A and B are shown apart, each in its own frame.
Chain A
Amino acid sequence: MKALATIIKPGLSTTLQDLGRPGKRHLGVALSGGADTLSLALANAALGNPANAVTLECTLSGPVLRFEHDAAFALAGADMNARINDAPAPSFQRIEARSGDILGLGKANAGARAYIAFAGGLVGDEFLDSRSTFLPAALGGLNGRVLRAGDALRHAGLATRPPRDIARSLQPVISQAFVLRATPGPEAPLFADAAERFFAAGWRVARRIDRMGAQLDGQRLEAAHQTSMASSPVFPGTVQCARDGAPFLLMADAQTVGGYSRIAQVIGADLYLTGQLRPGATLWFRKTTPADARDIARKKTLLFGDLAPSGLFY
């Protein structure tokens, strides 16, 4: 089968992602999927794709690819100065490409991840009902790895519905400063005063960040009484504190259990923002009650309606 497009330059870390593998954590299988699920879903919505269609996830610097036949695509997420041939390619809208056209993405000015969706979706290796790439186990996507020059993107040929307008008010604004709302984690009481400092302080994303999680610099948070904790479930959005007191924010590829104290849990409605964190970004965790967080999830679900798949905000 002829390729839909060919990768000319792969970008820093470009992978195939859909909405991941929810409900498989009891098997030790990470969620995976787009690190910024909302941008992924909006790129698909702009084309009328099923929400779970496979897209390209681009990290910090995007790929250059050549279309091998006529196709429509849409961009969302971090602005990487995308150009189709030499013309700017705006985000959140369907763009028609002709065979031979070159789509090139540069570096993200702010945020970390851009998504390129193609009308009808891309083909990827399936594992447990998802085609998302999970690099640590070389699963899904294209042979479980990041894309390389010369790779062929193949068209899944999914049925599409009419393209959707993404109102400007629904387009996520990505800056270098983030406020993530979070509820106190199961071990927060062990941290006593340090838990209050966690919510009061500004944090800086360290260089150690990937799809599994981000190390946070700022201060050390020692638990008031150290306990040796048996391995217990963790989720994307869980903030763990290692024994040296440095918080670590878990993301889409997070492991399923961990042995460190969980000081906070980012609310489901803000989780997609973690996919836009990059080294040097600043963030605050705003303390939120579970009841308020449920209310936010309900409102955000209504706001996006069928542009975002059910469950994206919880």
Chain B
Amino acid sequence: MSGAFSSEISTYGEHGWIARLTGARDIVAAALFVNTVADAVRGQTGIIDAVAGVDSLVIRFNPELLTPSIARAMLEQALAATPSNVCPARKQITIPVCYGGAHGPDLGAVSKKAGLTPEQVIKTHAEQPYRVLAVGFAPGFAYLGPLSPSLHVARRATPRPRVDAGSVGVAGAMTGVYPLASPGGWQIIGRTPTLLFNPSADDPFTFAPGDEVRFRAIGEAAFHALVENAL
């Protein structure tokens, strides 16, 4: 019995397999499941990569150590052995956010699309806890969800060439924080002064899959005080 999720496995390149969940309705359960499966496969003999997305995972194997069918069997075994229940978070993280203004240039557009006032958008975004559904895109970037359906908006039609480090964005059913200045297509509603990726720290990464994350609204003065502090 393959947990509570059914999945389809297909090739990913000549030395990889992808497993995609089919018909998973609960985005949090699905994301935590594929991350747990990836953790279980990673580190086994001959596995080079085990990387999870939101509802899929890919493993890549060393052909000098494994045949394609053995690698696939390792994946199938982990899929079958991983429970599908949502475990409580091991870590709680609170991220202070200064919403709107220069820090959140898309807050107005998101409010309009959602049919809410900017204050309601901020309250809705900050009041509920999220889980880290996946990490990736850039070092330190976490996909957080689920986002309240009232805040589901499409990505920007044209990505911005540069989004400031710490920018808090929404896109579809997810929210996230850009750890580094980078190009980005998410709708930016605020910015955190918290440093989310610090390569010289013992643990460079703030987020791990499954962590619980809350946003706390702060004002401009607090934002600048925290930036000073972080330096």
Contact = CB atoms under 8 A, between A and B. Distances in A.
A26 B50 contact: yes
Given A137-B139, A137-B180, A290 B51 contact: no
Contacts of B205: 27-28
A303 to B, nearest CB: 15
20 contacts: A22-B48, A22-B49, A25-B51, A26-B38, A136-B138, A137-B199, A139-B139, A231-B136, A233-B18, A233-B57, A235-B49, A235-B60, A256-B51, A265-B16, A288-B14, A290-B11, A290-B13, A293-B13, A297-B15, A310-B64
A233 B53 contact: yes
A288 B15 CA distance: 13
Interface bracket on A: 35 or more
Interface of A: 22-23, 25-30, 127, 136-139, 183, 185-186, 228, 230-233, 235, 237, 255-258, 265, 267-268, 288, 290-291, 293-294, 297-298, 310-311, 314
Contact of B12 (A26, A265, A314): A265
A233 B56 contact: yes
B44 to A, nearest CB: 12
Given A25-B51, A28-B141, A233-B51, 7 more contacts: A25-B136, A137-B199, A183-B14, A186-B18, A232-B54, A235-B16, A258-B137
A229 B68 CA distance: 26
A256 B13 contact: no
B5 interface: no
Contacts of B14: 183, 267-268, 288, 290-291, 293-294, 297, 314
Contacts of A138: 180
Interface in B148-180: 172, 180
B167 to A, nearest CB: 15
B216 interface: no
Contacts of A230: 27, 53-56
A292 B15 CA distance: 11
B13 A29 contact: no
A183 B42 CA distance: 24
B214 to A, nearest CB: 21
A257 B38 contact: no
Contacts of B204: 127
Nearest to B135: A28
A233 to B, nearest CB: 4
B12 A257 contact: no
B10 to A, nearest CB: 6
Interface of B: 10-16, 18, 20, 27, 38, 42, 48-58, 60, 62-64, 68, 134-141, 143, 172, 180, 182, 197, 199, 204-205
9 pairs of A and B residues whose beta carbons are closest in the complex: A293-B14, A232-B53, A257-B136, A256-B136, A230-B54, A265-B13, A290-B14, A233-B51, A233-B58
B2 to A, nearest CB: 19
A127 B199 CA distance: 7
Contacts of A27: 135, 139, 205
Contact of B51 (A257, A268, A297): A257
Nearest to B141: A28
A233 B136 contact: yes
Contacts of B141: 28
Contact of B63 (A185, A265, A314): A314
A43 to B, nearest CB: 24
A298 B64 CA distance: 9
Given A237-B13, A265-B12, A231 B68 contact: no
Contacts of B55: 230, 232
B91 to A, nearest CB: 15
Contact of A23 (B38, B48, B143, B172): B48
Contacts of B172: 228
Contact of A314 (B15, B53, B135, B136): B15
A232 B15 CA distance: 17
A267 B136 contact: no
- Of A127, A137, A291, which is in contact with the most chain B CB atoms at under 10 Å from its CB? A137
Contacts of B52: 26, 233
B139 A29 contact: yes
A186 B49 contact: no
Contacts of B15: 268, 294, 297, 314
Contacts of A267: 13-14
